[in-house]
């Protein structure tokens, strides 16, 4: 693939493992959808509990539940449980805690708090059935990513998204599980193709910051790409919904602060994303598109394709070009994408 310079960082290797990880995770979890359906039978709402990359996955879950499963969903504030130690009536709530390691104490404590407040509980983790989070939940979805050695999460993130897609199906979202099963092949095709990252890498290496924007389901991928660029490239990267971006922060986009805009190839948010790209370039700034088909590519300064996936699964594919871009940019800047300064795989919050 053009732009990777023949390097074999751990991050790049783990990006390449994602089709196999997704297949194994989907094959493992889809047959268990009935367990979650039974668990959630008396619930009406979904509460997601997570931090960091897992919190970005939870954003995807929130949009998925509300857009397709017909359930109100929200993101928890763990400090309500761990710091304020408040009591909240969570009867009728399915609490879903996400942690790649399954060992983040704050997330485990918050899930236990949710159960004490009346919620039914589901864990999504790559850490295994014996981790504290899996043990704290009534049902545990264990993803099949295997050990992730690079600090920036890649395969564990997309595995979480796949688990959330199974959750939507379990909650009777009128979606096609066959489309989910086809997702690994679509990502495999992208990874095997000729994706030239170099022009965007060279241009991003010259700027101090970037805005990353998407809306709806794509918003989760935008948040995750912004996080990756901060972690591995030390860029001042701001992840925003394009609706929020237009409410003032658009002013930060200029010749020194380009925008990366992300969208599925079709869906209700594509037209607005195209218009945002046109507004960015019209203001004299650079706009880099990821996904969005020919319409977004035509509106941007440069663009990268994403796997051809339906909108409900698009974030699983949209993040992959972003991961590749992050890894290539880090190496271009002389940084080690596997070991960003000041970070570790498991973060404990006071």
8 Å CB contact between 254 and 279: no
* Gap between the Cα atoms of 335 and 321, Å rounded: 19
pLDDT at 341: 80
CA distance 325 to 16: 13
DSSP three-state, residue 165: helix
Mean pLDDT confidence for 307-317? 97
Q: Is the pLDDT of residue 1 over 70?
A: no
pLDDT of residue 300: 98
Please compute the mean of the pLDDT values over residues 156-184 and round it to a whole number: 98
Q: Please, which residues have CB within 8 angstroms of residue 328's CB and are 6 or more apart in sequence?
A: 3, 4, 5, 197, 198, 201
Rounded Cα distance, 207 and 267, in Å: 31
Out of 155, 228, 278, 345, the active site residue is 345
Q: Between β-strands 120-125 and 209-214, what pairing exists: parallel, antiparallel or unpaired? A: unpaired
Task: Domain 10-187: give its CATH code.
Answer: 3.40.50.10490
The Cα–Cα gap between 88 and 280 comes to: 43
Q: Where are the domains of the chain?
A: 10-187, 195-332
Q: State residue 348's pLDDT score.
A: 53
The gap between the terminal CA atoms of the chain, to the nearest Å, is 42
Class of domain 195-332: alpha beta
Report pLDDT for 4.
43
pLDDT recorded at residue 346: 55
Tell me the C-alpha distance between 59 and 7, whole Å. 32
The percent of residues in the chain predicted with pLDDT above 70, rounded, is: 94
Dihedral in degrees, nearest 10, Cα atoms 227, 233, 236, 238: -30
Q: What does pLDDT average to over the chain? A: 94
> What whole-number distance in Å separates Cα of residue 190 and Cα of residue 117?
45
Judging by beta carbons within 10 Å of its beta carbon (0-12, 13-18, 19+), is residue 188 exposed, middle or buried?
A: middle
What is residue 304's predicted lDDT score, i.e. its pLDDT?
98
Asked whether residue 344 carries a pLDDT value surpassing 80, the answer given is no
pLDDT digits (tens, 9 = 90+) for 3-12: 444 458 999 9
Percent of the chain scored above 90 by pLDDT? 89
Residue where the block lists tokens 């919050």: 349
| Secondary structure class of 26 (helix, strand, coil) | helix
Give pLDDT tens digits for 215-269.
999 999 999 999 999 999 999 999 988 777 776 557 778 888 999 999 999 999 9
10-187 and 195-332: same fold?
yes
The pLDDT, as a whole number, for residue 210 is 96
- Catalytic (active site) residue 228: no
Give the model confidence (pLDDT) of 37-92 as tens digits.
999 999 999 999 999 999 999 999 999 999 999 999 999 999 999 999 999 999 99
């Amino acid at each position: 693939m053009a732009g990777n310079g023949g390097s074999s960082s751990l991050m790049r290797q783990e990006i390449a493992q994602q089709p196999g990880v997704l297949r194994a995770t989907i094959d493992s979890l889809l047959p268990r959808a009935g367990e979650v359906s039974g668990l959630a039978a008396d619930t009406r709402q979904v509460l997601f509990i997570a931090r960091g990359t897992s919190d970005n996955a939870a954003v995807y879950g929130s949009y998925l539940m509300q857009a397709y499963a017909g359930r109100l969903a929200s993101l928890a504030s763990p400090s309500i449980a761990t710091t304020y130690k408040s009591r909240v009536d969570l009867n009728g709530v399915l609490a879903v805690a996400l942690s790649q390691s399954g060992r983040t104490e704050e997330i485990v404590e918050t899930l236990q708090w949710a159960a004490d407040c009346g919620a039914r509980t589901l864990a999504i983790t790559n850490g295994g059935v014996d981790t504290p989070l899996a043990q704290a939940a009534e049902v545990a979805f264990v993803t099949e990513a295997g050990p992730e050695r690079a600090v920036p999460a890649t395969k564990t993130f997309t595995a979480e998204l796949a688990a959330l897609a199974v959750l939507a199906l379990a909650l009777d979202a009128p979606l096609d599980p066959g489309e989910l099963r086809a997702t690994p092949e679509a990502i495999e095709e992208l990874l095997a193709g000729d994706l030239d990252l170099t022009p965007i890498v060279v241009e991003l290496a010259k700027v101090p910051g970037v805005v990353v924007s998407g809306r709806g389901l794509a918003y989760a991928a935008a948040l995750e790409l912004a996080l990756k660029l901060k972690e591995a490239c030390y860029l001042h990267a701001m992840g925003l919904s394009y609706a929020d971006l237009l409410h003032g922060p658009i002013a930060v986009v200029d010749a020194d602060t380009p925008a990366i805009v992300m969208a599925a190839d079709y869906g209700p948010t594509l037209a607005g994303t195209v218009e945002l790209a046109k507004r960015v370039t019209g203001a004299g700034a650079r706009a880099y598109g990821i996904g969005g088909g020919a319409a977004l590519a035509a509106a941007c300064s440069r663009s990268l394709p994403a796997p051809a996936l339906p909108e409900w699964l698009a974030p699983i594919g949209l993040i992959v070009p972003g991961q590749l871009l992050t890894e290539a940019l880090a190496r271009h800047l002389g940084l080690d994408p596997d070991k960003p300064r000041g970070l570790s795989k498991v973060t404990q919050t006071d």
